[in-house]
Every structure is written in structure tokens, then in C-alpha cells.
Amino acid sequence: MDGPNPPTFPTLSELEAVAATKVRPRVWGYIAGGAGDERTARSNERAFRQWVIRPRVLIDVSEVDLRTRLLGQRVAAPIFVAPMAYHGEVHPDGEAGVARACAEQSLLAVYSTLSSAPMEEIARVGPSGPRWFQLYVQPEFEANRRLIERAERAGFQALVVTVDVPVLAVRDRQEQGGFAIDATVPIGNGPGVLPPRRGPTRGGSTFRLGEAPSPTWKTIDELRSITRLPVVLKGILSREDARLAVTHGAAGIIVSNHGGRQLDGAPATLEVLPEIVEEAGSSLEVCVDGGVRRASDVLVALALGAHAVGIGRPVLWALAVDGERGVRRYLEMLTLETASALALAGRRTVGEVDSSLVAHREWM
């Protein structure tokens, strides 16, 4: 918050490149890298290029309203900060900076189990901010209960259960940089919190991913039974699992491939969004993250049925470039560009966006 503004904050096109110069290579490898050789990570952005926005003209768009509701809660725009671990590694402002920037702009942020700051501090610095708590299911069930109770007390309004990390994937770039998700990185939510396991180990002639069973739909039922918070499942990529999410009482789905950091080879999130919306969109709220970079991406995702889009890496880029101030600036830029794009598309509100806004194409 102190210190002069950087002479020129980068444009959205330049943000990643500038951020790469601001963080240690080890952390950059962690932020930037995906699983395997990053096919899924790359595909996330590319998938958006296969849709064009069909603008309508000569409609009075002098006033544009981006507000929407997410699980009943009013937010300033259908854009939220996706859950990401260890903001403190990127900039000392960490999650507190993100929380202040989001609260100020009435934007939802989802905070990770593995936040650098304790969830109570996050809640304190941005008390008015819409905030959801992301849970990495802990092997010991009581540990989940303790985290959820803290989240409820701290005013988090939903529980986002990550379902695509029964084990951490092999991430070449992260490994090349030397970053390890393990006990050596401080976790704000306390020493009792465990990051996901790093990979299978041989156990005789089979492979073991952990001592305890990995989370199942039964786990979801159990989590629902111990919290009054709506449960959102993050990491669903198929019509079949969307149906099960409805059956098991989820309030929402975040269509996500973990930013291409888990199963390399998984589809781009935009590729499967339509089938998930078709299957479950009338029963629960479907959001999407992965590869959202510009206003046009926001509009395409909304047109394909998403309630809102999650932003991942760009928020860390902004944090890297100028801390809390960078995040504030970034969110403002993306929101304004979205308002502008909505107007240019001939729509005045998020509610006016439907599938007639977009058309598919094969190339780009």
C-alpha cells in the first residue's frame, strides 16, 4: 500500500512477462508450470480461441451492470479469484493483499487450505469480502472438521472441496525449479494441516497414494453432514460426475483441471463446460476456471453457461508485480474490460448473456 505506483502497470498482454521477472525462478516454476509436459495447461487458453463472440449493435449500453449472485451472494462481477496455495511465496502481501483488493471491489475470492496466511487473518483484513474456503480433504476426518469450523467462524460462505487431487501430479517445471509442496513451505492454517501427497509410492507390486483411502462421494456426504455451508465441488470434468454432484447435494461445481496442474491430458475446461452445464446447470451453479485471461474469455464462458469464472495465475502475476496494489489494479482492469466487452457485445447485464452470443469455429 505504501510506495509510489510503478510508472506504468503492464497491460494484460504484458502481465505474465513482467511478473516472471519479479519472482524467484523456483517460485516461478511453481506458479507457471503444469503437470507433465503441460498439454492441458496450454489447451485451457487455446480452447477459448475456438469461440467467437457475435456482437449486436445499436443497443443502448450506456449503463452496464456486471453484478450477479453466486450461491445467493451478491458480487460485483461474475469473476472470482480461484483458490491457489502459498500467496506469500509470491509477495509479502500474500492472501491479505488479495483479500483487501477483492473486498474493496466486492469480488469473490476462494482461499486455499494451503494459504500462507491463516484464514482468520484473511477474514479480518477483508471482512466484507465474499469469501469461500477451499478444502484439501485431510486424511484424518477430524482435521477436516476443525478446518471447516474455523472457516464457518471466520465468515467464509461456502466450502469448496477440491476433488482432483487424490495425489499431486508430476509437474516437470515445478520440479526443475526445485519447488516442493511439502512441510518446508509454511502453511498459514497451522502445522496440523497437510498438503496433498506428492505421488504414489511402490507398495509391493502395487502403488499406494496414501495410508487412508482417498476422498470419495461418501466423503462429500460426510462433509455436508458437518457443515451448514453450501458445498462446491472443484475439479469435475465430466457429465457423469456432474450428475453425481447433483445427487450428492452439491450446491455448485467449479469445472476445473487445476490449471493443467493435475492430470495432464485432461480436457480444457471450456471443452467440457457445455456437457456439465447441460447435465447439471439447472440443479446447481456451474463455474469454470482455467485459461481465463481476457474479457472475451469471461463472456465466452458465461455464454456457454458458466455462472462465473475463476482467475488463477493472473492474480499471482499481479501480486508479484505490485502486491496488493497490483491485484487491485488487475481486478479493476479485468472488470472494466469485461464491462466494456459486454457493452461492445450489445449486452447490458450478465443476465442478457446466453448461447446466442457465441459461435464455434474449428481454427485459430
Residue numbers 69-128 binding a second copy by CB under 8 A: 76, 106
Q: Does residue number 249 form part of the binding site for a second copy (CB under 8 A)?
A: no
When binding is defined by CB under 8 A, the residue of 241, 279, 289, 324 that contacts a second copy is 241
Given the rule CB under 8 A, which of 80-88, 89-97, 115-123, 290-298 is the region that contacts a second copy? 290-298
When binding is defined by CB under 8 A, the residue of 206, 225, 228, 282 that contacts a second copy is 206
Active site residue 360: no
**Contacts (Cβ under 8 Å, ≥6 apart) of 195:** 85, 114, 136, 168, 181, 182, 183, 185, 187
Helix axes 39-48, 269-280, angle to 10 degrees: 70
> Beta strand 131-135 with 159-162: parallel, antiparallel or unpaired?
parallel
Site string for a second copy, 209-228 (x = CB under 8 A): xxxxxxxxx-xx--------
124-183 positions binding a second copy, by CB under 8 A: 163-164, 166-167, 169-170, 172-173, 175-176
358 three-class SS: strand
Closest C-alpha to 290, from 276, 245, 246: 276
DSSP one-letter code for 106: T
Nearer to a second copy, 39 or 150 (CB): 39
Distance CA 251, CA 284 (A): 5
Instruction: List the grid coordinates of 252.
Output: 455448485
When binding is defined by CB under 8 A, the residue of 115, 116, 262, 269 that contacts a second copy is 262
Q: Does residue number 184 form part of the binding site for a second copy (CB under 8 A)?
A: no
Instruction: List the grid coordinates of 62.
Output: 450506456
48 three-class SS: helix
Nearer to a second copy, 148 or 233 (CB): 233
Location of C-alpha cell 466423503: 219
When binding is defined by CB under 8 A, the residue of 295, 316, 327, 331 that contacts a second copy is 295
DSSP one-letter code for 242: H
Site string for a second copy, 5-44 (x = CB under 8 A): ------xxxx---------------------xx-xx--x-
298-327 positions binding a second copy, by CB under 8 A: 299-300
Nearer to a second copy, 161 or 320 (CB): 161
What residues act catalytically? 258
